[in-house]
Chain A
């Protein structure tokens, strides 16, 4: 029994030591940090089970996991984060949104300083509802294809999503509706991202560009630095989790205690609750710990010449200006496993203007409709190994990493153009580097 105790005996390592996994199977994103203590182990697996739990319509005999809806998008967290990895966009209008949702708002600023929810449909289209309650409607994704030609003659088919709706049950959305389609992101390494100090982000923004989002911290009742979500619109992992339970599953928590029904949704408001709140603080603690302590895949093939060449090109093209390889972290206030050191997430966690092609036109706190948080790239090389289907970028429009690169605009346009004009060997090397992450 010595082996399982080793992390305790040795103590937690610094930075991402103890948070990397050499597992490259389809379970690569589901590994506990090796520094996970024996004390936290049962909590970690409890959190894992809640993350995989299919939630139940209340009332139910299993009253610890009831309270789904009344309106919701999917029945479990894992539905949109398959194998803890990224989701995907529908292939076309004939397919439902299975790992994707659509945020809604109207022009203006909400009570917390974020987007102003639609008065009837709220801040997210909930496509499903429990029996006896009316679901809001369905989103449909069409694609308009266009071709981008790369140096050397390679032609890449790019698909631009075109969103429409059917079966809207509470009337039209209105001409001023703001929408933003989102696929589920990968969920490993989040505890490490949480440990990047605020002042590091602010200093980075001052010295290298990009913007810190300032968002609303519900627990503290105060403005805070945003770092989670594709617009960096959540300040803490705990709030990100609670918001997703609330918005995607219709599960209330102490952070979001009211059911996800607008005034116009009468049956929704009258539906039976699964408790007050439905997700207990202990359950939220467990899911939070689980996501904080999921290990990050170790890099592979780093000594390969093409990978090393690709890494150099990643820097020289300018990709690393925003996809910053290394960030410092401080001791995590609640997770002794996370200690001062450095991590290699390939993000600066800042907002950047990515141009018209990617813009959703939906401001979110300080983030404009053209701004997105730099996506962490660690583990991206295993995305297609882990997931049956995966998409890239916030709405999954990109089916490959190369397509994702080619959608970059705005501040990233120079880097994108260097990639597009690079010779095929260089492009291949850069992609090989990304595969090694």
Chain B
């Protein structure tokens, strides 16, 4: 290095030698976590294991399995994501190697529900619960309390204040909708979803976040997954979040690939994620996920799912959810997404009819209003059929099989006709009640 260069380099001294602190091992992690999440784990892991260079490769959950079967084969060490379905699929294909987990610290369960693979091919690393995000200031304008149960936001007083994500378009929503269905039962659950939708603005996979709508004062409450809400609150947003008593969880997992080129480093990473140090990162204000280690929760924990399950057992079965999520998405779209305005109008008419009937004490009007509600709550799929393997396979396979897609579309057309007919009928029944009461 000449004198002239040294003079010019006086601000940032430069050493051209290769640094001694070269990392000895490499690790490639495939994930779908956002930057705010994986960067903090990456940084903390490399602090704990300075001998490992961690590279992150990113893929959405639906694109992860094809990548690991093809371009990423033999190049990726670890898969780390919130996609139970993808983990079960890849485990069944034999793409993971078993993990050694200390079950005394990492139980792999919450109450009666299994979080981790019974064969230890993939391990739970965090949980997230579903619930209600509220803007107390917006609700206060209407004199409404912070809602705590799903049924609270089905109340007509919340009309126009609710944001409801569309499950076929928003990643966490299928699980959340099925949480309601499993907790309340097939018919009562859909009725509840339908009534909530009647109060709601629908949110698809567009650019706005649920929290944007709430922050802008354009809505007062959103059905959401906890970390969006809890992170926003931790970052200073004037929101509240409540876990309903009939809640459910979404889980994330880690697995080391069977053909991992750096399997030892991969196992170190998996062990780090479930360690106390790794789990502590979940409390970061930009992450706010729930730990899978009971010992992570102090007595002052804002929410402890392990304590919660003893008081109010969870009713959600994730394996059942995976089997029927495509069916539920399709049914939701036919009931809600495709005819949202008509659904709102029908519920508005039925609610008015019920109020009118109640105000008169007319038993026949009351019965007619109840009949209108029953019409509106009719479903084209019986509870037993919702777990029918043949029907579920049609919707599950539709993206991969043209015959299944054709059959699914035909069924959807039947559902569409069914709902259109019943919404119109319910509206007519409700209008008849209103006319009857007005004519008294």
Contact = CB atoms under 8 A, between A and B. Distances in A.
A351 interface: no
Contacts of A361: 5, 7-12
A176 B5 contact: yes
A45 B207 contact: yes
Interface residues on B, range: 35 or more
Given A27-B235, A131-B28, A168 B207 contact: no
Contact of A163 (B8, B15, B18, B216): B15
A177 B16 contact: yes
Contacts of A172: 16
A56 B59 contact: yes
B285 interface: yes
A131 B57 contact: yes
B21 interface: yes
A373 to B, nearest CB: 15
A301 interface: no
B389 interface: no
Interface string B1-30: 110010111111111111101100000100
Given A4-B218, A140-B19, A395-B12, A76 B35 contact: yes
Contact of A42 (B15, B206, B216): B206
Contacts of A82: 36
Given A356-B11, A361-B9, A173 B206 contact: no
Contacts of A173: 16
Given A78-B35, A167-B22, A356 B207 contact: no
A95 interface: yes
Nearest to B232: A27
Contacts of A306: none
A164 B16 contact: yes
B118 interface: no
Contact of B35 (A25, A52, A96, A359): A52
Interface in A129-154: 130-132, 138, 140, 142, 144
Given A132-B75, A165-B18, A166-B19, A54 B12 contact: no
Interface residues of A, number: 69
A339 interface: no
Contacts of B5: 175-176, 361
Contacts of A160: 13
A357 B11 contact: yes
A160 B50 CA distance: 23
B381 interface: no
Contacts of A176: 5
Interface in A76-125: 76, 78-79, 82, 93-96, 98
Interface of A: 1, 3-4, 23-27, 42, 45-46, 48-49, 52, 54-57, 59-62, 68, 75-76, 78-79, 82, 93-96, 98, 128, 130-132, 138, 140, 142, 144, 160-168, 172-173, 175-181, 356-362, 369, 388, 395
21 contacts: A3-B217, A25-B237, A56-B58, A60-B59, A62-B63, A78-B36, A93-B19, A96-B53, A131-B71, A132-B75, A140-B19, A142-B15, A161-B12, A164-B16, A164-B18, A165-B18, A166-B22, A167-B18, A175-B5, A179-B12, A359-B11
